[in-house]
Amino acid sequence: MTAEGEPTPGGVDGSGLDDEAAMRLLRDGKLDVAGRLVEATNMTLYCSIRHGGQVAACVYKPVRGERPLWDFPDGTLAAREVAAYEVAAATGWRIVPPTVYRDGPFGPGMVQLWIDTDPETDLLALVRSRHPGLRRMAVFDAVVNNADRKGGHLLPLEDGHVYGVDHGVCFSADDKLRTVLWQWRGKQLSRDAVTMLTGLERDLERGRLGRRLRELLTPAEVEATWERVRRLIQTGIHPYPSEDWPAIPWPPI
């Protein structure tokens, strides 16, 4: 158990693969498109990926299928999704399913492990709850400046762990935090979160995370990420919603 009382996830999800094996499979596997996710706004494809006897389901979002966004003129949604995974991996909290940037049948894009969710979970109740995994996700969202944390972007597992997906509109250099997870606003960050943030700052300054983010994001976006981490450590609290922009995504679920 961690300080927050959430069981430490074992690193294995619906696919039966640990994160390292999943990352290898996503990088090296043969990608076959099975269908398109209808509820998705961009070209979001449901695929199978196989390599050396291993097979898993995954999501593939080719850059070619991205709608241009006026408030995210630089880079690609796919690169920001991978950057969000890199931050999540650096937190050690397993907030984002394994995600890579690679080529596919419709050109380069992001490929993410498919996570089987618990159909019994009431998303509305979950969103309003004080689930410790969501509290961690709230800290993660503040770090990556997530502009679209809605209920449908939460993937609850049967073992109680919750993953987050759809991180294409993160990392703006301007504050844009838009989320349904405001229940901890103004609350002191947990000791666990402060420890994580301190590690993150070090990793951004001189570790692998800084190098990776500089490959995936603009210099201003990387600098702003670092600044948000420093601000969180300095204030020691979960951020408040802004009064300058809608702080809850629409629709919220």
Residues at the contact surface with ligand ADP, assessed by CB under 6 A: 37, 39-42, 44, 59, 97, 112-115, 152-153, 155, 165-166, 168
Unique residue bearing structure tokens 């996710």: 37
Q: Judging by DSSP bridges, how do beta strands 45-51 and 99-102 pair with one another?
A: unpaired
Shortest approach of Mg ion to residue 30 CB, angstroms? 26
Spatial CA neighbour of 30 closest among 11, 58, 64, 61:
58
Shortest approach of ligand ADP to residue 115 CB, angstroms? 4
Q: Which is closer to ligand ADP, CB of 39 or CB of 244?
A: 39
Dist CA 197 CA 138 (whole Å):
13
15 binds, among ligand ADP, Mg ion, none (CB under 5 to 8 A by kind): none
Q: Which is closer to ligand ADP, CB of 90 or CB of 155?
A: 155
Contact between residue 19 and residue 94 where contact means Cβ atoms under 8 Å apart:
yes
123 binds, among Mg ion, ligand ADP, none (CB under 5 to 8 A by kind): none
Q: Which residue is nearest to Mg ion (CB)?
A: 166
Q: Given strand 99-102, what is the order of strands in its sheet?
A: 30-36, 45-51, 54-62, 109-113, 99-102
Q: Which is closer to ligand ADP, CB of 96 or CB of 138?
A: 96
SS3 per residue for 202-240: HHHHHCHHHHHHHHHCCHHHHHHHHHHHHHHHHHCECCC
Q: Which is closer to ligand ADP, CB of 11 or CB of 186?
A: 11
How many helices (H) does the chain have, and how many strands (E)?
7, 7
Site string for Mg ion, 117-156 (x = CB under 5 A): ----------------------------------------
3-state SS assignment for residue 162: strand
Shortest approach of ligand ADP to residue 50 CB, angstroms? 17
- If one asks whether residue 203 binds Mg ion (CB under 5 A), the answer comes out as no
Shortest approach of ligand ADP to residue 245 CB, angstroms? 20
Q: Which is closer to ligand ADP, CB of 97 or CB of 109?
A: 97
Q: Which stretch binds Mg ion (CB under 5 A): 4-12, 75-83, 162-170, 232-240?
A: 162-170
Dist CA 99 CA 87 (whole Å):
11
Dist CA 147 CA 159 (whole Å):
27
Q: Which is closer to ligand ADP, CB of 98 or CB of 132?
A: 98
Residues found near Mg ion in the complex (CB under 5 A): 166
